């Protein structure tokens, strides 16, 4: 028996440090997260405050950023960490992704030196939690239509509006909030506890249940002039942060798919059907073979995109290609694995339907599959089809 990694000789494409990071994160997932994740999912909770310092100690928060206590790893190393985190649960990878690729990246890329010194070391250590307030109730795929407004009042800014589906929102110490001003979209740092700023945890989710999701309300929130991210002007700012997070999804979704496939192979090898293992039937082997090929191809693409990013050559449409492929194939693999497990596949005794439910969100957040198809369509034809 061989694994997908062995089938595609994936280890031969990794350096020593990349393998070490992958194994460190995998070991942390096995020892610290897997024993509890089914219970977190069932209860609809995630212990962000407890786990963030541990993730920070491992160097996983903002790990691809330089300075300010960040690990300064390569993009590929970050991608491999995302893969291992999402092999446990998409909610775990989402927490790390929002902290590092969205909130910390926004401050690191667009913030003042004072803002960076104030927040980044604390966030890298997991002592401070951040969230990223871009999506609104009626403006997901079209963030440029946001209604949240920021107006000047003397030297201060006054913010009014709301944000929806904000990971870490109700436990965050600081929210990166994007708002429309008189001339362009700007980013603001809103500390928790600021008068007029409230965050309400969202419940009744059937996906990403082991994750904290919130709605943010801003009602006359007064911020000083130095709350603005000075280098972010226009929608390009938040979109660049989203591209960073999407890159992590390219790897992460494959981690969920790989965990499903491993569970299905193990189950098929022990489940007796008509006096022989389920794995010995041609239909089962055909399913497993097809899934292994798609998982292997997806991982090869992810590694290629990682190498491009490390060379500074990765283009946004290439990230879209990776995100579209990884999420679409991952959810198909999860669903197919569920058929192999039969009725057992719907229980939390196995990870498959939990991953499938999570991937329903991963498929659509940070750019739906349809949006990424249109990004690729525009790149291929030169014609915009968003309107």
Q: Which residues of the chain have pLDDT under 70?
A: 139-141
pLDDT tens track for 339-363: 999 999 999 999 999 999 999 999 9
pLDDT tens track for 124-142: 999 999 999 998 887 666 7
Catalytic positions, written as ranges:
366
Nearest of 3, 46, 47 to residue 26 by alpha carbon: 3
Domains of the chain: 4-125 (1.10.540.10), 130-234 (2.40.110.10), 236-381 (1.20.140.10)
Q: What is the rounded distance in angstroms from the CA atom of residue 319 to the CA atom of residue 315?
A: 7
pLDDT of 1 reads: 86
Task: Copy the structure tokens of residue 19.
Answer: 């393998």
pLDDT tens track for 246-269: 999 999 999 999 999 999 999 999
Q: Which residues pair with 217 in a beta bridge?
A: 162, 198
Burial (CB count within 10 angstroms: exposed 0-12, middle 13-18, buried 19+), residue 246 = buried
Q: Please count the CA atoms within 13 angstroms of the CA of 380 that sit on its side-chain side.
A: 10
Q: What is the rounded distance in angstroms from the CA atom of residue 380 to the CA atom of residue 87?
A: 33
Task: Copy the structure tokens of residue 386.
Answer: 């968003």
pLDDT tens track for 24-58: 999 999 999 999 999 999 999 999 999 999 999 99
pLDDT of 140 reads: 67
Nearest of 324, 360, 130, 127 to residue 241 by alpha carbon: 130
Residues in the chain: 387
DSSP line for 237-294: HHHHHHHHHHHHHHHHHHHHHHHHHHHHHHHHHH-EETTEEGGGSHHHHHHHHHHHHH
Alpha helices in the chain (DSSP H): 4-7, 16-28, 34-43, 48-57, 75-88, 90-97, 105-110, 113-124, 236-270, 282-310, 316-341, 352-364, 369-381
Q: With contact defined as beta carbons under 8 Å apart, do 161 and 150 qualify?
A: no
Residue whose token pair is 């904000």:
166
**Measured CA distances, 191 to 70, 109, 158, 331, 352 (Å):** 21, 19, 14, 36, 38
Q: What is the rounded distance in angstroms from the CA atom of residue 270 to the CA atom of residue 65?
A: 45
């Amino acid at each position: 028996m061989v694994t997908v990694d062995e089938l595609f000789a994936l280890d031969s494409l990794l350096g020593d440090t990349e393998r070490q990071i992958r194994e460190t994160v995998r070991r942390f997932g096995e020892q610290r997260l897997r024993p509890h994740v089914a219970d977190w999912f069932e209860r609809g909770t995630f212990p962000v405050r407890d786990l963030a310092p541990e993730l920070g100690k491992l160097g996983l928060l903002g790990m691809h950023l330089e300075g300010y206590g960040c690990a300064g790893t390569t993009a590929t190393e970050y991608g491999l960490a995302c893969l291992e985190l999402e092999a446990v649960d998409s909610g775990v990878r989402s927490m790390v992704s929002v902290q590092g690729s969205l909130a910390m990246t926004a401050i690191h890329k667009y913030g003042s030196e004072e803002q960076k010194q104030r927040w980044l070391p604390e966030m890298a250590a997991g002592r401070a939690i951040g969230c990223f307030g871009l999506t609104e109730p009626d403006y997901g795929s079209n963030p440029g239509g946001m209604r949240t407004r920021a107006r000047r009042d003397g030297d201060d800014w006054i913010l009014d509006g709301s944000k929806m589906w904000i990971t870490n929102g109700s436990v965050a110490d600081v929210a990166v909030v994007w708002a429309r001003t008189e001339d362009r979209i700007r980013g603001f740092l809103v500390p928790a506890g600021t008068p007029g700023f409230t965050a309400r945890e969202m419940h009744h989710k059937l996906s990403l249940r082991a994750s904290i999701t919130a709605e943010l309300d801003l009602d006359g929130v007064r911020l000083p002039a130095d709350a603005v991210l000075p280098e972010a002007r226009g929608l390009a700012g938040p979109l660049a942060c989203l591209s960073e997070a999407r890159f992590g999804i390219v790897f992460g979704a494959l981690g969920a798919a790989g965990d499903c496939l491993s569970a299905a192979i193990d189950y098929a090898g022990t489940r007796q059907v008509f006096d022989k293992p389920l794995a010995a039937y041609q239909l089962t082997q055909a399913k497993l073979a097809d899934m292994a090929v798609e998982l292997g191809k997806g991982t090869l693409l992810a590694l290629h995109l990682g190498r491009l990013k490390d060379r500074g050559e990765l283009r946004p449409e290439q990230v879209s290609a990776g995100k579209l492929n990884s999420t679409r194939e991952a959810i198909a693999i999860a669903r197919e694995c569920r058929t192999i497990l039969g009725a057992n596949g719907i229980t939390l005794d196995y990870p498959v339907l939990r991953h499938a439910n999570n991937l329903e969100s991963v498929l659509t957040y940070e750019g739906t599959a349809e949006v990424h198809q249109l990004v690729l369509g525009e790149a291929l034809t030169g014609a915009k089809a968003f309107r």
